[in-house]
Structure 1
């Protein structure tokens, strides 16, 4: 799967608002049956791809929903158009799917195009907890199909408040099934600092210990942080929480453009072109730098990914970050420091630290020391 960087642009496309599941933590409000017009989308994509490929080495078209495979014919048409008109592996296509509606026709097409279309499976753990939050869909997924065709593509595991106490068990269940996994927390749900934060710390430490005991398994992004950035002697200008409006943009089912798909979470709202253009201008003008003054001197900002889109959708302001998630981020940074410290004791065993240069190792150690000084939480 192509990696994400500033040399890559992601264009999210909401091909449909329909979904056949009702996940308990879904941030998309009031789904409907709308499906995008491929004629309209291709017109918009043609302009974006022609300009973007002059600047970026690769463009990912990321199909989104709803459940994007409910609009398979539209995805297929757009993908094949893009590959035919922009060859030489300059355009890849991706989609996140619940995996429950893949017909033989869809599977055949995906297998034929598996080197240029990457479907990420949402799988939240073992059968019980997956079914608890994802509409009893576990037995409707062809797991072997995903493992056979994309063995190195991690599944997307979302943890909600009602499964946080079993986060590690669900993480382990997915590994036992033969998948890599990227765990994440559900956004815009009722997280309690008193109840859930200690559980998160406990479960995250279990995951880190799993990576210590299994050196051949590369740690997931949520704990494989670049801790050298925390070194007081390391000079880095952290410009933005994400690439929204910069190397990320999105189109809804009506062809309207947004800085990213998270700005389209409430389907009941009418598109306000001038307001959206002002958001693009703001993101472009300050490069997304610390839109909230509260974050200006925050120690963990370099590892934080506050979602500008969800902030805007749920709180009406890109700068209004969820303060509860800030505390969860601190726990994640501290857990990452503990993981790196353990790996440094025998660093030749671990890819995460074993390939760092002497300069990187110096700043890594300084970064860990700084984290222990400034994050006063015991986990």
Structure 2
């Protein structure tokens, strides 16, 4: 039986202690969420009969700027009884995790998980994230949450080090849950297409030589889904099985679509959107004409940022998606040859591999 989960994000602060070069949250302020606002929101969601589990994510800005609030709220929740199962998360740049915070996190590591943003080796990370590499205790995060993944962003300044940065993170013992290309860049530029192709080829060869390492989603796409019957469904639970609360308690569809990123005019425009109507979120030309549509992620906040429409995909990454598909196909073909098991997924994958190569590998 499928577990029904609701993803709840509390934006504790609009401030951040870093100035990452690719940050799209341009409306930062000194606003912070009051403890009582946090408690009111959590009390509302932790007794919801339609869900089995609530995933509670402390967000920002940098959420550990408000550690005192975070600590008080968690301990209040832990001291009470709720209908729903729940777990706490926080996404952090890692810089503020001092001795006091470490002690509290270590004590509660089984019920409070932390996801670290790490953009690769020292040089690339420092370029992207305000020279913060040496301020992060990487061993601490690995010690407390050995199964937790890290998140990585690729900027135009570090794109030519994709292979080096990803393999460096693997050398630390981490898997990578997401490798996002920064927003607001013309990734269709021939220079970037050439660089990404070269970097992903090296990365593909690395995974072929190291089958014990879990491949990053960048070239480990579920290409078999391209052969599934197409359905008009949203990519995520944005505004439906997911909500983010601003510092004043205002509900937003997700952590991307908030006042930190968008002005009142844009937010007002999406106020009346029915987030339960999946058809409103479908990019019809992509759905009808692109073979990769079933595996081409669509971030509705990124769409809104790039072209002002929730449903129209940000086309600046189309070329990159095709490159990713070619190397995902190559890696999947290698895996099947190494372990030729006849499964429905593998049969679909073999068809997808041929089609992807015919369409995009030229």
1:323 to 293, 301, 315: 315
CA contact (8 A) 2:47 2:84 kept: no
CA distance in 1, matches of 2:34, 2:172: 38
1:223 correspondence with 2:219: yes
Cα 1:32/1:252, change in 2 over 3 Å: same
Q: Which residue of 1 aligns with 2:25?
A: 28
SS at match of 1:345: helix
Cα 1:17/1:289, change in 2 over 3 Å: closer
1:27-79 per-residue CA deviation (whole Å, 9 max, x = no partner) reads 1113111110121222123223322xx23332111111111100111122222
Cα 1:319/1:104, change in 2 over 3 Å: same
CA distance in 1, matches of 2:3, 2:187: 32
Cα 1:39/1:313, change in 2 over 3 Å: farther
CA contact (8 A) 2:12 2:33 kept: yes
Q: Which residue of 1 aligns with 2:277?
A: 285
Deviation (angstroms), 1:145: 0.3
CA distance in 2, matches of 1:333, 1:6: 30
Deviation (angstroms), 1:83: 3.4
Alignment of 1:144-155 (within 5 A): 144-155=139-150
Alignment of 1:292-371 (within 5 A): 292-297=283-288, 298-347=290-339, 358-371=343-356
CA distance in 2, matches of 1:16, 1:373: 49
- Unaligned runs of 5+ residues in structure 2 are none
RMSD of aligned Cα (Å): 2.3
Alignment of 1:68-217 (within 5 A): 68-85=63-80, 90-182=85-177, 183-217=179-213
CA distance in 2, matches of 1:74, 1:230: 45
CA contact (8 A) 1:230 1:367 kept: yes
CA contact (8 A) 1:11 1:250 kept: yes
Q: Which residue of 2 aligns with 1:257?
A: 251
CA contact (8 A) 2:47 2:83 kept: no
Count of residues paired in the alignment: 359
1:355-377 per-residue CA deviation (whole Å, 9 max, x = no partner) reads xx622221221222222233x24
Deviation (angstroms), 1:97: 0.7
Deviation (angstroms), 1:284: 1.3
Q: Which residue of 2 aligns with 1:241?
A: 235
CA contact (8 A) 2:33 2:248 kept: yes
Q: Which residue of 1 aligns with 2:8?
A: 11
Q: Which residue of 2 aligns with 1:351?
A: none
CA distance in 1, matches of 2:350, 2:266: 48
Deviation (angstroms), 1:313: 3.8
> What TM-score results when the alignment is normalised by the length of structure 1?
0.87
Cα 1:268/1:192, change in 2 over 3 Å: closer
Cα 1:50/1:89, change in 2 over 3 Å: closer
CA distance in 1, matches of 2:103, 2:26: 33
CA contact (8 A) 1:230 1:371 kept: no
